[in-house]
A and B are shown apart, each in its own frame.
Chain A
């Protein structure tokens, strides 16, 4: 069974631009969560989607948004990029019957210049 896939793997953007990252969960998984990983702040929860509904949201500004499609694939969007948004963005999926076990993708490395 294929793991969590994220595209693109690397991205370079300029301040003020917006970016969309994509995540395809493991087949059969309906919960998708997003995390931001930086050297200074570590791993921080962004939001979680289950059955196309946002179930939880972390403490991030409204520039960070996401959505989930009927096939459980998810996207996150960051508008008006700032230098501090440079990070590894990780997506994790879990099976609705075993919500404890979250499996992470390889991440998208976003660099904002």
Chain B
């Protein structure tokens, strides 16, 4: 257990479904991230939130919609996904503004789009 909890661990959804991924941390961290890891590819940064404000969106399609209601929770809302969106979705958090802190990652949600 890393202190960053992602639910669900596995998700199978149809292309017309709407689902949400949840990430929760109670480490007192102020920055949270969504990463995507497709099969045999490096992790790709999707979104960055700092102090609950989105500070970066790496050209992610609008069918992925992040939400950060408070510093402990991060969501990724999914709508009308494609089979190529099947991947491991990872959430990470980082402590504080400034400093050189490492990231703490969750275990990920394995998403399969059928």
Judge: A and B partners, yes or no. Answer: no
